[in-house]
Amino acid sequence: METDRIIVRIRQRVRLDVFLTGHLAHVSRNRIQRHIARGDVLVDGRRVRPSHVLSGGEVLTLSVLESRRLEHASLPVAFTVVHEDEDIVVVDKPAGVLVHPVGKEFQRTLLNGLHIRLRERGEDASELGIVHRLDRLTSGLLVVCKRLEARRALSQAVEERRVHRAYLAVASGRPAAARGVVDLAIRRDPARPTRMQALDPASAAAARRSARATVSKSGYSDPRLDLRPRRARTRWAALRHLGGAVLLRVELETGRTHQIRAHLQAVGMPLIGDPIYGPSVEARIEDAVLQAGAALGRPALHAAVLAFNHPRSGQRMLFRAPLPDDLRRLVARLALPQAPA
């Protein structure tokens, strides 16, 4: 695309990275800073630092970043709309679809698909925004807001734990109890920053004493390097035993990254098919369970229930999404009696 230029129109001085974070609502500040440092953003034709202060009237050149905007980048994505009104869209997301643009994947995400849906109907999509997330390989329900006021109200409801979410999961193992609670702090794994760790109370206390947020020179805290443990609590109930596996109903009391996956692994019930936290051969998992997980190709986790008060009317809304075909086939396969060795 042709080089894009914008003229800065502001009433008070502001840092370049802060200005662009507001201008490019769906590009993270961390990514914006990296682009500025690489010279992808010019101020009056000059390379500057992310902390460069704008006064107004400057001409910014940012072709690479502009190309990531939803208006330019969005491509069609398949998903099921469960409910839609003038404020919100509730979607049943298929496994394999990212919720929002991340890194090099900024064209075929749920947010891109919703943006196209609104624009094709002639609706304003400028305030479209995510309230909560699901992992790429997790299927199920989530709500997206079409209006900024709705997003603020529902984001506050999520923070205050007034949004109810329940999941269906197929895990390996045979729990002795019918239900339980996992109350283990979670932090990013220092050795593998793409995964999380569930820590026992003693380990969590030690980690809190030694860890601190990593802040860049520009003043931005990088979550990938933040090793501080955070409280996390998950409730589970066994719905059906499946030989060497179990169908669980899982409810979150907190909403940490990979919380269900890390917590179930920590208590000996790793999700079938999970490439990061799933069962391994060394764990002496039954062959039938390992084979089923390999055939599934993704964590056996589905966001089945979503409930919240509508951000405008206050009416309580409840949505349910049945297990998708791949998880129903998994349950049926594991429920079959296994031939003796």
Residue 150's pLDDT band, with cuts at 50, 70 and 90, is: very high
Contact predicate 62/6, CB 8 Å:
yes
Predicted local distance difference test score (pLDDT) of residue 18: 87
Dump pLDDT digits (tens) for 38-47. 888 888 988 9
> Hey, how many other C-beta atoms are within 10 angstroms of the C-beta on 27?
19
Q: Which of the following is catalytic: 87, 92, 135, 274? A: 135
Q: Same structural domain for residues 131 and 251? A: no
Question: Percent of the chain having pLDDT more than 70?
Answer: 83
Amino acid at position 212, single letter: R
183 or 56: which carries more pLDDT confidence?
A: 183
Query: Could you tell me the two tokens for 165?
Result: 């979410």
Helix, strand or coil, per DSSP, at residue 309 = strand
Q: Does residue 217 have a pLDDT over 60?
A: no
Q: Same structural domain for residues 78 and 142? A: yes
> Hey, how many other C-beta atoms are within 10 angstroms of the C-beta on 228?
15
Among the listed ranges 128-137, 266-275, 312-321, which one has the minimum average pLDDT value? 128-137
Domains contained in the chain, number: 3
Among the listed ranges 58-72, 74-88, 224-238, which one has the minimum average pLDDT value? 58-72
- pTM higher than 0.75: yes
Residue 212 lies in a domain: no
Predicted local distance difference test score (pLDDT) of residue 271: 94
Average pLDDT, the chain: 84
Q: Which domain holds residue 128?
A: 71-160
CATH label of the domain that carries residue 177? 3.30.2350.10
310 or 68: which carries more pLDDT confidence?
A: 310
Q: Residue 318: which of 326, 306, 327 has the closest Cα? A: 306
**Rounded distance, CA 101 to CA 113, Å?**
11
Predicted local distance difference test score (pLDDT) of residue 89: 95
What mean pLDDT do residues 247-263 have?
93
Predicted local distance difference test score (pLDDT) of residue 4: 64
Q: Does residue 239 have a pLDDT over 70?
A: yes
Q: Same structural domain for residues 126 and 177? A: no
Predicted local distance difference test score (pLDDT) of residue 208: 83
Q: Residue 154: which of 164, 167, 141, 139 has the closest Cα? A: 164
Helix, strand or coil, per DSSP, at residue 215 = strand
Predicted local distance difference test score (pLDDT) of residue 118: 82
Question: Percent of the chain having pLDDT more than 90?
Answer: 40
Residue 31 lies in a domain: yes
Predicted local distance difference test score (pLDDT) of residue 282: 46
Residue 215's pLDDT band, with cuts at 50, 70 and 90, is: low
Q: Same structural domain for residues 172 and 281? A: yes
Q: Same structural domain for residues 95 and 112? A: yes
Predicted local distance difference test score (pLDDT) of residue 56: 87
Q: Same structural domain for residues 185 and 239? A: yes
What mean pLDDT do residues 182-199 have?
91
19 or 25: which carries more pLDDT confidence?
A: 19
Residue 211 lies in a domain: no
Predicted local distance difference test score (pLDDT) of residue 285: 60
Among positive and negative, which fits the CA dihedral 158, 159, 161, 166? positive
**Rounded distance, CA 83 to CA 92, Å?**
10
Q: Same structural domain for residues 176 and 302? A: yes
Q: Hey, which residues does 296 pair with through a beta bridge?
A: none
Q: Same structural domain for residues 172 and 290? A: yes
Helices and strands of the chain, counted as H and E runs: 10, 18
Respond yes or no: is residue 200 known to be catalytic: no
162 or 255: which carries more pLDDT confidence?
A: 162
Dump pLDDT digits (tens) for 262-304. 999 999 999 999 989 977 644 556 677 777 778 888 999 999 9
What mean pLDDT do residues 54-67 have?
77
Q: Does residue 214 have a pLDDT over 80?
A: no
Q: Same structural domain for residues 46 and 77? A: no
CATH label of the domain that carries residue 10? 3.10.290.10
Query: Could you tell me the two tokens for 203?
Result: 């380990």
Predicted local distance difference test score (pLDDT) of residue 243: 83
Q: Same structural domain for residues 85 and 180? A: no
